Structure 1
Amino acid sequence: MSMNLILFIVLPVAGILLGWTIRWVYARFQLSASEQKAERVKQDAIKEAEAQKKEILLQAKEQLIQDRNQQERENRERRTELQRYESRVNKKEELLEQRNQEFEKRDKEFALNVAELHKREAVLSEEEGKLRVELERISGLTAEEAKALIIKNLENDARHDAQSLLNKIDQEAQLNAEKKAQEILVSAIQRIATETTSEITVATVSLPSDEMKGRIIGREGRNIRSLETLTGVDIIIDDTPEAVVISCFDPVRKEIARVALERLIIDGRIHPARIEEIVQKVTREIQQKIYEEGEKALFELGLHSMSQEAIRAIGRLYFRTSYGQNVLTHSKEVAELASILAAEVGANRELAKRAALLHDIGKGAENDSDQNHAEVGAEMARKMGEDPRVVNAIEAHHNDCEPQTIEAVIVQVADAISAARPGARRETVDNYVKRLENLEETAKKFHGVEQAYAIQAGRELRILVNNDKIPDEQVKDLAKQIAKQIETDLRYPGRIKITMIRETRIIEYAR
């Protein structure tokens, strides 16, 4: 029993020990195999590294050999180039040495020639002095006196010949220029002959009977107030039989009021609502009429590519007058004259015609401005994208600025022809002369003014002041005082330019 117990105990323990022994032996075997494998891998890696090292060293040696060979080739090429350069330098040095020797030789020869020339010059100077002394003895004049006499005679002869030639050229130029200018102007005036339109700032509307006046006035004046408010005019109802007067400085508003009143009289229904309806309808018709007149003017003149704003600005001139002359008719006439004149003198016909048609668009401007119509028109044309040459012609047609092109001068001339021809404007010669005299007399009343001249049809006043009485710093104030006096005392169209002239003039006579 005890033996069996011992065996029962010993056998498992022995089995366990045997199992541990076997596992330890197996583990040692695996460890030995791993170590051997690791050693083989290590040896293989060392061999591979040695092989790569040798290969890298061989490649480095080959690259070093190639670089050394390349450097040697470059060095040989550089040495060859340096040798060629040294050879060229040596040749140039030899050539320079030869040229230097030649120059030295020539310098010696030149020095000998200069010495010889000095000797000859001394001999000639001595002979010249003897001849000069002899000439002075014979003529009785020194060398300087003889030279001055010869120069003076030559100068007098040259001046006389030059003055004669200048006088001849000037006379021929004046004769030909005046004749040519007269031919051009006469030809242009003869080809243009438009009717004269006279309009004033009031319009008269005929009535079927005097009873219509009361209907126009309405209960407590509501009808006439409504009509005046909507149209911006003054309606004058007086003792004139069967007539009503419409007064307004704006010709477009005056025309709207006139047409609206005539239609109300024909219709017979006169009350504020009907008046407003008729005025709105007539306003649209007048605006359409303005556009149509602008298009008609462009069609008659053969002008194209103009903006709608420009067409309306031209059409508004149909209702404007200047001294009784219709401004649109005047503008078309100026355009035709400018085209003829431009063709005669070889200028740009289209540009001159366009600038001439637009030169007075400032008179139809709807805005109120303290500028004159030339400046307003130039600003309008600039905003409408017109050519700068056209803008300059508009601004310069009354000499408010200097004309920059020949077309601008042509517009000035054509404008003067159209306005100055007989019957074009209503102002009589007596009134015209009186207006200029009043301008001059107003300026002459001021202290220090010696003379005053009204020019440019009364658009400019040139004043000569006494330089002893009026110093420079007071001339500007004097001009302002004269301008203020003219604005207060006189009535005139447009704007008057005042030019003050002060100068010191000294005259002496050589007897």
Structure 2
Amino acid sequence: MIASTDELHVVSFDESMYNIRFHLNNKLNLVIKAYKMHWSIFTIIGALIGLLGGALLAKLFAIRSLTSLGEIPVKENMDAILKSAEAQRNMILEEALLATREQYQADANRLESERELVFGMQESFEQELNEKQSEVDKLANEIDKKEENSNIKKLELEKTREELIAKEQQNIEMQKSLLNHLENKIGRNKSELYHDMREELINSEKLGITRWLMENQEALKVDAQKFARNSLNSVYLRYQPSFIWPKSSFIVQVNSKELLQKHFHEESQIITSLITNTDSSISVLTINDELPSMLKISGGAGVDKEVIRLTLEEMIAKEIFNEDKIRPIFDKYKRNIDRHILKIGEEAIKHLDITPNIHPEILKLIGSLNYRTSHRQNQYHHSIEVARLAGMIAEEVGVSSIIAKRAGILHDIGKALDYKIEGSHAVISGDYATRFGETEEVVDTVLAHHDDKIVETPYAYILKAADAMSGARPGARVDMEEGYHRRIDGISGVVNSFQEFGVTGSAIMHAGREVHVFVDNNKVKQKDISGLAEGIAKKLESEVEFPGQIRVTVIRRTEITEVA
């Protein structure tokens, strides 16, 4: 049981009173002992002083007497001297004793006064102690009464709690009984009823929302188109490109046909040495006998083609055709180009004010796009332009321009790798962006710009718009009508050549970048679709010239129509 605060105060007061009594008694005993000891001490001291003083005075008196007698014989006056000394001693002793008695009486009176004072203080303390004891007793009685009342209240509360628990249990039982009665009456349990009510409420809200959308759809569409038109017009007015877009050329002129025949024939070890560890190839272009011939570098990475071009130009200019001397030249330009692509990648990020920093490997891919074209458009400058346009559009619609610019500069980095990795360049871009720490929001936006992932976010639409604006800007791309028709006809011819294998038709989309092939489900089985798509893709690669990639999708479906 825990003691109350009042009880602790009583105990503390009792201890204090006990300590006061103990100290008073000790002091009083000390005073009485000192009073008793004083008489003995003073008596002894007085006696010693008297004896010593008497002896000393007797000696002095004897010496004085002898001196005064002169020639009187000592023996005759001895009795007189001794009597005189004895009288002097007794007189001194009586004086010493008298002085001692007076001192003792004074000390005794002082001690008696102190004793009376101590006894008076003891009576005062005892009176105060008795008063405090009365208060303590009164307080203890009150505490006992409060404790008794507290116990009574506790019992009452316990009884009330038990009654409440019993009533709560009765309520629960009553609720269960009423719920069972209600479920039996309506024929459904609580969960089913809740589900039905929820579905009814949701359907009601859906119907209301659908009705509101139908009523306001046209107005919303008009407002959205007006807002989009105003935003794009504002971007067009603000955007002023200040750079000249270079177009990479991987052609090296050779003025001497003898040089071509001697060093650049089909089995040339020089060509083999240059294209080792690359996916590029070198071929000889001869237009006619009067014009100089050219070496065309094709295939592989744009960076590798640029290194090979620079190496060939230095070889031909300095007439270096020794294989041992060619390799150091190639390695020199390879190092220079690697440093250059990292530098221009960093410049692009700095120019666009994109934060936080992008991984160095991604910066190299961005720089590599300077040697990659699509429809003769430099993809490095295209990516910078898309990023700037995306940032402007984001500012117009009120979302983060940093995220939009980041997705814009990364959206085509896959084009620096699509020569060796199969798949859409958007998928390759998203994969490398994920690999080097880009956020899911940026990666999804990159994947969505060619619908490789369906993402309904503002950034996805912003990137699509910015990409289209950059590609459609007058002068941005060179794609002559004749070449376009030749490519479309070539794709159609390849697809139609598979009619004997069940192909019934095709749809060419995105300027020849995607082909949907339809097949007869009676002739083509489900397990044969993959092989058919692969065969069409390989034939397109071998017979049709096209930039980038072509996605081939084979569609096999069953349609049944009935007329009532």
1:386 alignment partner, SS class: coil
1:344-393 CA distance string (max 9 Å, x none): 11121111111111111111128822222222222211121111222222
Identify which of 232, 239, 246 aligns with 2:296: 246
Offset of 1:319 from its aligned partner? 0.6
Structure 1: runs of 5+ lacking an equivalent: 1-75, 96-158
The equivalent of 2:354 in structure 1 is 303
- Preserved CA contact (<8 Å) 1:317 1:361: yes
1:236 alignment partner, SS class: strand
The equivalent of 1:272 in structure 2 is 323
Question: What is the alpha-carbon distance in structure 1 between the residues aligned to residue 557 and residue 458 of structure 2?
Answer: 31
Q: Tell me, yes or no, if structure 1 residue 332 matches structure 2 residue 384.
A: yes
Question: What is the alpha-carbon distance in structure 2 between the residues aligned to residue 94 and residue 327 of structure 1?
Answer: 83
The equivalent of 1:403 in structure 2 is 455
Equivalent residues in 2 for 1:91-240, closer than 5 Å: 169-189=216-236, 191-193=239-241, 197-199=246-248, 202-207=250-255, 209-210=256-257, 212-213=259-260, 216=263, 221-229=268-276, 233-236=281-284
- Preserved CA contact (<8 Å) 1:460 1:497: yes
Distance 1:277 1:91, change over 3 A: closer
Distance 1:266 1:187, change over 3 A: same
- Preserved CA contact (<8 Å) 2:247 2:373: yes
TM (normalized to structure 1)?
A: 0.58
Q: Number of residue pairs matched?
A: 363
The equivalent of 1:355 in structure 2 is 407
The equivalent of 2:338 in structure 1 is 287
Offset of 1:327 from its aligned partner? 1.0
Letter in 2 for 1:203: I
Question: What is the alpha-carbon distance in structure 1 between the residues aligned to residue 159 and residue 312 of structure 2?
Answer: 114
Offset of 1:413 from its aligned partner? 2.0
The equivalent of 1:382 in structure 2 is 434
Offset of 1:243 from its aligned partner? 3.9
Offset of 1:445 from its aligned partner? 5.0
Offset of 1:246 from its aligned partner? 3.1
2:253 alignment partner, SS class: strand
Question: What is the alpha-carbon distance in structure 1 between the residues aligned to residue 458 and residue 274 of structure 2?
Answer: 49
Identify which of 456, 473, 494 aligns with 2:549: 494
2:405 alignment partner, SS class: helix
Letter in 1 for 2:284: I
| Percentage of matched positions with identical amino acids | 28
Question: What is the alpha-carbon distance in structure 1 between the residues aligned to residue 324 and residue 388 of structure 2?
Answer: 46
Which of 1 and 2 has greater Rg? Answer: 2
1:439-481 CA distance string (max 9 Å, x none): 6784895899887544444444557789xx769x956755763
Offset of 1:399 from its aligned partner? 0.9
1:422-455 CA distance string (max 9 Å, x none): 4333333465466557767848958998875444
- Preserved CA contact (<8 Å) 2:505 2:517: yes
Distance 1:345 1:487, change over 3 A: farther
The equivalent of 1:132 in structure 2 is none
The equivalent of 2:21 in structure 1 is none
2:342 alignment partner, SS class: helix
TM (normalized to structure 2)?
A: 0.53
Offset of 1:263 from its aligned partner? 1.7
- Preserved CA contact (<8 Å) 1:389 1:405: no
1:39-75 CA distance string (max 9 Å, x none): xxxxxxxxxxxxxxxxxxxxxxxxxxxxxxxxxxxxx
Distance 1:370 1:243, change over 3 A: same
Offset of 1:496 from its aligned partner? 1.7
2:427 alignment partner, SS class: helix
Distance 1:257 1:346, change over 3 A: same
Question: What is the alpha-carbon distance in structure 2 between the residues aligned to residue 478 and residue 93 of structure 1?
Answer: 76
Question: What is the alpha-carbon distance in structure 2 between the residues aligned to residue 249 and residue 387 of structure 1?
Answer: 33
- Preserved CA contact (<8 Å) 1:217 1:224: yes
The RMSD of aligned alpha carbons is 4.4
- Preserved CA contact (<8 Å) 1:256 1:286: yes
Letter in 2 for 1:174: K
- Name whichever of 478-487 and 267-276 sits farther off: 478-487
Question: What is the alpha-carbon distance in structure 2 between the residues aligned to residue 93 and residue 276 of structure 1?
Answer: 97
1:249-292 CA distance string (max 9 Å, x none): 13222211221122223334432222122112121112122122
1:182-218 CA distance string (max 9 Å, x none): 2333443452556565556x412344x5555467459
Q: Tell me, yes or no, if structure 1 residue 393 matches structure 2 residue 440.
A: no
Question: What is the alpha-carbon distance in structure 2 between the residues aligned to residue 398 and residue 474 of structure 1?
Answer: 30
Q: Tell me, yes or no, if structure 1 residue 259 matches structure 2 residue 297.
A: no
Distance 1:414 1:284, change over 3 A: same
1:277 alignment partner, SS class: helix
Letter in 2 for 1:421: R
Distance 1:216 1:474, change over 3 A: closer
Letter in 1 for 2:228: A
Offset of 1:395 from its aligned partner? 2.1
Offset of 1:316 from its aligned partner? 0.6
1:143-200 CA distance string (max 9 Å, x none): xxxxxxxxxxxxxxxx9xx97x766622222222222222333443452556565556
Question: What is the alpha-carbon distance in structure 2 between the residues aligned to residue 256 and residue 91 of structure 1?
Answer: 94
Letter in 1 for 2:295: V
The equivalent of 1:428 in structure 2 is 480
